[in-house]
């Protein structure tokens, strides 16, 4: 039995419409929709949106918590939004905004220009920080992963682009 699936999704300041399997949320940040899997039933009540498995199969039980989490992410996204913070470490490594694009100097012979996908905003308050934000949790995480992929942190000196709370396991260099 899913512990997350049992919990209702609270709808503070968010308007939700359910059309068959499609759940659409509209809030102050924008509008998002998600299609719930076939093995899960969706209903709207006084306390919010509740999800329940359609039958007692293993697949329905597995999809129940996942579907609830997807609906919760849509509601939270249109209410508050999501953001990820990246930190750049290394001598000469820096980021700067070039219009809406992000210009990264990561030790290559050229600067890397990253164009933000639709619905994603990029900020660089300091030369060593990047903030990726938007209303779609999956898109924010993917954009942050794409930026990190240009120069992932290496284990010997820790240079590269990493998430804010990411721990880099450091290795000892070779000895004489």
- pLDDT tens digit string along 27-73? 999 999 999 988 899 999 888 899 999 988 899 888 998 999 999 99
- For the cut 70, the answer to whether the pLDDT of residue 150 exceeds it is yes
Q: Are residues 31 and 88 in the same domain?
A: no
Number of folded domains that form the chain: 2
Q: Are residues 18 and 69 in the same domain?
A: yes
Q: What confidence category does residue 4 fall into, taking pLDDT thresholds of 50, 70 and 90? A: confident
- The enclosing domain of 127 has a CATH number of 3.90.930.12
Reference 80, options 43, 6, 29; nearest CA is 29
Q: Where are the beta strands (DSSP E) in 27-119?
A: 31-35, 40-44, 49-53, 82-89, 94-98, 101-105, 112-114
Beta-bridged to residue 160, according to DSSP, are 89
Q: pLDDT digits over 95-136, tens only? A: 999 999 999 999 999 999 999 999 999 999 999 999 999 999
**For residue 45, what pLDDT is reported?**
86
**For residue 146, what pLDDT is reported?**
96
According to DSSP, the β-strands at 120-123 and 15-19 are unpaired
**For residue 3, what pLDDT is reported?**
79
Helices 58-79 and 137-150, packing angle to 10 deg: 80
- For the cut 90, the answer to whether the pLDDT of residue 6 exceeds it is no
- b/e 94-129 (16+ beta carbons within 10 angstroms → b): bbeeeeeebebbbeeeeeeebeeeeebebebeeeee
Of the candidates 47, 79, 111, which is a domain's last residue?
Answer: 79
Q: What confidence category does residue 5 fall into, taking pLDDT thresholds of 50, 70 and 90? A: confident
**Residue 117 has which token pair?**
């996908």
Q: Are 7 and 67 in contact (CB under 8 A)?
A: no
Helix (H, G, I), strand (E, B) or coil at 138: helix
Domain boundaries, position 16: 3-79
Answering whether pTM is above 0.75, one says: yes
Look at residue 19 and tell me if it is in a domain: yes
Look at residue 54 and tell me if it is in a domain: yes
């Amino acid at each position: 039995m899913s512990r997350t699936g049992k919990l209702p999704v609270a709808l503070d300041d968010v308007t939700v419409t359910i059309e068959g399997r499609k759940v659409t949320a509209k809030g102050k940040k924008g509008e998002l929709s998600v299609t719930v899997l076939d093995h899960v039933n969706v209903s709207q009540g006084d306390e919010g949106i509740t999800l329940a498995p359609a039958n007692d199969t293993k697949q329905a039980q597995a999809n129940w918590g996942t579907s609830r989490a997807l609906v919760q992410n849509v509601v939270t996204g249109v209410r508050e939004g999501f953001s990820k913070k990246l930190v750049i470490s290394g001598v000469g490594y820096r980021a700067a905004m070039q219009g809406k694009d992000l210009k990264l100097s990561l030790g290559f012979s050229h600067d890397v220009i990253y164009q933000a996908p639709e619905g994603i905003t990029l900020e660089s308050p300091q030369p060593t920080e990047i903030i990726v934000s938007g209303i779609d949790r999956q898109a924010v995480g993917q954009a942050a992963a794409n930026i990190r992929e240009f120069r992932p942190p290496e284990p010997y000196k820790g240079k590269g682009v990493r998430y804010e709370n990411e721990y880099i396991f450091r290795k000892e260099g070779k000895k004489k």
